[in-house]
């Protein structure tokens, strides 16, 4: 598969939490935050 971008971020927003995922070319970081 052809790589278009080597850095991307996705967010999943809910009523009580937000989850962010950062994908780099060789690592992945996933964090979850409370909204209040």
Q: Mind listing the pLDDT tens digit for each residue in 1-36?
A: 787 888 999 999 999 999 999 999 889 999 999 998
Domain that holds residue 7: 1-35
* Sign of the CA dihedral running 32, 33, 35, 36: positive
The answer to whether 9 touches 26, Cβ cutoff 8 Å, is no
Give pLDDT, residue 29: 96
Number of domains, the chain: 1
Per-residue HEC secondary structure of the chain comes to CCCCCCCEEEEEECCCEEEEEEECCCCEEEEEEECC
Model-level pTM?
0.70
Burial pattern 6-34, b for ≥16 Cβ within 10 A else e, equals eeeeeeeeeeeeeeeeeeeeeeeeeeeee
Give pLDDT, residue 33: 96
Give pLDDT, residue 4: 86
């Amino acid at each position: 598969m052809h790589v278009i971008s080597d850095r991307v971020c996705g967010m999943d927003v809910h009523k009580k939490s937000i989850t962010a995922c950062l994908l780099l070319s060789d690592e992945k970081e996933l964090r979850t935050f409370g909204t209040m």
